[in-house]
Amino acid sequence: MDKKLITATMLSLALLAACSSNNNNGKNVAENPAVYKKSGNTVNKYERVDMNNKGLEKTSADKQNEFGYVRHVKSPVPGQNIKYQDIYTINREKVADTISKIAVTNPKVHDAATLVTDEEVLISYRTDAKSKEDRNNVADQVKKTAFSVVPRWYHVYVTDNPTLKQYVENISYMKSSDANKERVIRQTIKMMLDSSPQGHKMSTGENENGETKDINNGNMENKDDLHEQHDNGNL
């Protein structure tokens, strides 16, 4: 009887020791910074937000201090590569909102309305600048605000003529698929160029609105270069 009791006691002690050892090992692994974070979340180099990282999303201030870097590797398996519908596109309304918000931080600009199409930005703003030079400088600043936000193929047109604000707004109710949208946009741009300064040339190869020149003949390179057409009386 005593032998059975002693044997049972020894087995119990062995089991307890094994459990204790497993618990300690788990604690050591959980606290190993090379494998796990102390919070219990696995180390994720890309810091993607998933079920294991709830509550750890970065703030806008955090993101502004970081660089953006993404690498994609083509899959060797047919049909496994990125599909066109999975590629992000420009949210034009958010871009317009960003441009207008930045524009009104200019001490000389008191109101700014921005329209973003598939290739143009039209900005109508109110300013207290009176002289020709001051108006042109404000136009240059507003225009460059837009260029700092949109892709470089865009052309930017600005106006400080208050009567044209409604024209810019009217275009916003149209769709890119509307048959007459190009005609309406061109007419509005013509009025903007007629009545308002466009700032300084963007570079030696670009005019005030970011339209580029053909290096060989000095002419604007395509039919969408509306400033050149305007100057030639063809707009």
- Per-residue model confidence as pLDDT tens digits over 2-50: 555 555 566 555 555 555 544 544 444 444 444 444 444 333 444 444 4
Output the pTM of the full model. Answer: 0.65
Of 29 and 94, more confident: 94
Query: For residue 176, what pLDDT band results from cuts at 50, 70 and 90?
Result: confident
Q: Give the pLDDT confidence score for residue 74 in this predicted structure.
A: 78
pLDDT of 32: 46
Question: What's the pLDDT score for residue 133?
Answer: 98
- Structural contact between residues 103 and 110, judged by C-beta atoms closer than 8 angstroms: no
Confidence of residue 117 (pLDDT cuts 50, 70, 90): very high
- Predicted pLDDT of residue 89: 82
Question: Helix (H, G, I), strand (E, B), or coil: what is residue 20?
Answer: helix
Contacts (Cβ under 8 Å, ≥6 apart) of 110: 104, 125, 126, 127, 128
**pLDDT over threshold 70, residue 80:** no
Question: Which of 108, 99, 150 lies closest to 126, judged by CA?
Answer: 108
Mean pLDDT of the chain: 78
Q: What percent of the chain has pLDDT over 70?
A: 60
pLDDT of amino acid 39: 42
In this predicted structure, which of 11-25, 77-91, 92-106, 182-196 has the lowest mean pLDDT? 11-25
CA atoms of 156 and 234, how far apart (whole Å): 19
Residues sharing a CB contact under 8 Å with residue 208, sequence separation 6 or more, in sequence order: 143, 198, 199, 200, 201, 202, 227
Q: Residue 72 — pLDDT band, cuts 50, 70, 90?
A: confident
Helical pair 92-103 and 132-147, crossing angle rounded to 10 deg: 140
pLDDT at 29: 43
* Residue 229: pLDDT over 60: yes
Look at 233 and 196; give whichever has higher pLDDT: 196
Confidence of residue 73 (pLDDT cuts 50, 70, 90): confident
Cα–Cα distance measured from residue 159 to residue 208, given in angstroms and rounded to the nearest whole number: 13
Question: Torsion angle of alpha carbons 90, 92, 97, 103, nearest 10°?
Answer: 90
Q: Among 128-132, 151-155, 160-164, 216-220, which is the least confidently predicted range?
A: 216-220
**How far, CA to CA in Å, does 1 sit from each of 4, 7, 222?**
5, 10, 104
DSSP symbol at 202: S
